[in-house]
Each structure stands twice: as C-alpha cells, then as structure tokens.
Amino acid sequence: MSFEDILLTIISRMDGERYKHAAFHLMKGKRSGQTLQDTEYYGLHPFFGMLPSLSGTDFDRAYNGLLEKGRISESPEGIVRLTMAGNERARALPDSRLNGWVYRGKEQVFFSRLSLAVQSLSHLMSGIRGFLPVTNDPAIQQDVRRHLLAALKTRSPDDFRMEMTHSLEQSGMDGERLSRLVARLSGNGLTGLTWTQLSELSGLEVIDLKAEFVESLHIWLQVIENGRYPLLSGFAEGLRPSSPLTGSARKTEELYRKGVTLEEIAARRGLKISTIEDHFIEIAINDPVFPLGRFVSDDCAETVMAEMNRLATRKLSLLKKKFPELSYFQLRLIMARAGKEESDGNERTGESDRAAEADHRA
C-alpha cells in the first residue's frame, strides 16, 4: 500500500471529525493526549508512530495528492472528509499489516542490528576482520557483538542465513517486496542501496518505499517472534515498550496510585493542570480498570456514551454543547473509556476536538 493510500485509510476512519494534522501527528507517534485518544477512538493503532521522522513536506505532498484526485475535501474550518471517490478507494484497499503501536519506530533498531550482523558475518566468512561498520551507534555495536559472540559458540554463519531465508519465506511477502527489503543490507563487496537508488531502480517514490519498508519489518518481526528463530530473536530483544505510558505519565500514575490528587500532582511536578489531565487520559486509555467513577458518575458517563452513539460522533465541541455541566476533562475521560471499550470489542474508536478545549481554557 502506498503512503498516500495509508493516509487515505487513516482519514477514512476519522472522516469528518478531524483536521489534517491529526493524521500527521499520529503517523509520527506524537505522545500527546489528543493523538493517543485519536489512536484509541478510531482504531488507528497500526499506524501510530509508523514514521517518526516523517517530514511535513512528504505528508503535505500526499495530502495534496488526495485533494487533487478528488478523494478528500476540506471544509473552510479545515475539517477533512472523504469524497465518494475517496470512500470507494478506501473500501477497495487491503488491510494494512503495519504494527506501529507495538514497535513505535523500534523496528529500525532491529534492522540496524541485523544489518551490522549480516555485514560482520559476510566479512567473517570471507576471512576479513577489518571493515567500516554500517552503523557507528555504540549501543547497536555492543548488542551485535554480544549476541554474535554468544551465538557463534554453537552456531555457524550458515545457520543465521537459513533462519533469515526461512523466516522471510514464512512472512508471505512477495518476491519484489523481499528484494527491496534485502537491497538495504550491506556485505563484503556489496553496499546496501540508498532510498534514492532504490527509488530509481524500482520506480517507486521514496516515501512509499519507506512506508513499505516499515511494514515489511513489522511483518518479519511478527514471524520471528512467533517462530523458532533463536539467532534472529536476539536482534529483536527490547523492541516492545515495557509500558504503553510515556515516562512522564508513569510518574503521574505513581503519584495518583498513592492517593495524590490531580491538583497536588501538578503542583509537585511543576506542570500545568492541562498536562496532568493529558496524563490521566493516557492512563484511562491504557488501564482497563481505571476508576472513572472518581471523576464522573456512572449514570452520567452512560448518558454521554449513549449520546455519542446516537450522534455517531466523538467530537468534543458537540458533546460540550450537549452537556455544558461537564468539564472538558470529564468528557475526555468518558470518551477515553468509551474508546477503550469499543476498541476491546471491535477496534472501532472515536475522537475529541482538542481545539475546542484550548479555546475554553483560553
């Protein structure tokens, strides 16, 4: 799937309720309360953090391409909607095999380790001890050195090659995609292709190649983690985050579990109330037993959820008009829990309008 089609898929799930940069922040993996809510509400976990280094130029090029092709439209306020042509295109697209929520850019660590290992083994098999490594990252070099030294005591370079071959065959990726994936690897007498070189050779745009590359690594990693590939598994260690929460949100959670109030947490940490509220939203999204009742009654939460379903919206500004007695924070918490429940059931989520809350706070 091209980058443009991935963007169209994301827009199709947020259809008519978000601005264009919601998709941009999502693909970069911005750890804000708003973006995390969007991920949960709309079931966009596969695309979260898929391209942390995505440039605004590449994003705008794809976005404008969708506008020019008549697949999306933008309201005067900047809200993005699918057109009939866009809806038809989105329905025809295959399911993505991205797994951004799990790896969040760490698949690049796996590939850096793998690249250095392949380069090292290639030179070792040729009897060459000295070479210029493909990465100067000391952490990557240390990981590869440690794993290879331990593995080569009982295994051979050919065992490594066989694991790579078999796992890639099990991935189900077609030959052309596999060729583009391995073309990025370097070995003795062979330098991996740059994105520009690969683009010229394949006829694909660089941004499309990068998106495909990330998805290919996610597919491959899933095979490695689910199979018996001890040599490759060593290079996949530590890729999954130990906690879905950001470091700052974890600190807020620790204080909250000790009985410290939201206001006291903000004072102790020297942070704005709005920042601590974002942390609570993040906690509510990730904690299946978050005590929502401490912030809003169960009856009230059920009423809001029912209205959300009736209106078929997750737009905070609309819900605020319906429930003026509730704070934006209370509404966001309710939507966070609603999104979690729906995501657990059918991976369908909703949205909130952060701009409306910003106006309120101003």
232 neighbors 164 (Cβ within 8 angstroms) = yes
Residue of 303 and 288 predicted with greater confidence: 303
Quote the CA–CA distance of 154 and 147 in Å, as a whole number. 12
Please state, for a pLDDT cut of 90, what percent of the chain lies above it: 72
Of the chain, the percentage scoring pLDDT greater than 70 comes to: 93
Asked if residue 179 has pLDDT above 90, the reply is: yes
What is the reported pLDDT for 300? 93
pLDDT (0 to 100) of residue 189: 87
pLDDT at 178: 97
Average predicted confidence (pLDDT) for the chain: 90
pLDDT at position 347 over 90: no
pLDDT of residue 130: 86
338 within 8 A of 305, measured Cβ to Cβ: yes
Residue type at 352?
A: S
Q: How confident is the model at residue 355 (pLDDT cuts 50, 70, 90)?
A: very low
pLDDT the model gives residue 34: 81
The pLDDT confidence band at residue 303, using thresholds 50, 70 and 90, is: very high
pLDDT at 346 over 60: no
Instruction: Using pLDDT thresholds of 50, 70 and 90, give the confidence band for residue 290.
Output: confident
| pLDDT higher than threshold 70 for residue 357 | no
| CA 289 – CA 221 distance, rounded (Å) | 30
Please indicate whether residue 243 or residue 193 has the higher confidence score (pLDDT): 193
Burial class (CB in 10 A: 0-12, 13-18, 19+), 50: buried
pLDDT for position 340: 65
Residue 275: CB atoms within 10 A of its CB come to 17
Query: Which of 46-55, 137-146, 229-238, 311-320 shows the lowest mean pLDDT across its residues?
Result: 311-320
Domains of the chain (ranges plus CATH)?
A: 3-97 (1.10.10), 107-235 (no CATH), 247-361 (no CATH)
Residue 162: burial class (beta carbons within 10 Å; 0-12, 13-18, 19+) = middle
pLDDT of residue 349: 34
| Residue 317: Cβ within 10 Å count | 18
pLDDT at 37: 82
pLDDT at 341: 65
Query: What average pLDDT score do residues 60-68 get?
Result: 98
- With bands split at pLDDT 50, 70 and 90, how would you rate the model's confidence at 17? confident
The pLDDT assigned to 351 comes to 37
Q: Provide the pLDDT for residue 337.
A: 79
Q: Is the pLDDT of residue 362 over 50?
A: no
- Residue 88: count of CB within 10 angstroms of its CB: 11
pLDDT in tens, 77-111: 999 999 999 999 999 999 999 999 999 899 999 99
φ, ψ of residue 347 to 5 degrees: the values are 60, 30
Structure-token match 């969708």, residue found? 66
Kindly report the pTM of this predicted structure. 0.84
Mean pLDDT value across residues 272-295: 89
| Amino acid identity, position 125 | M
> Residue 57 pLDDT > 90, yes or no?
yes
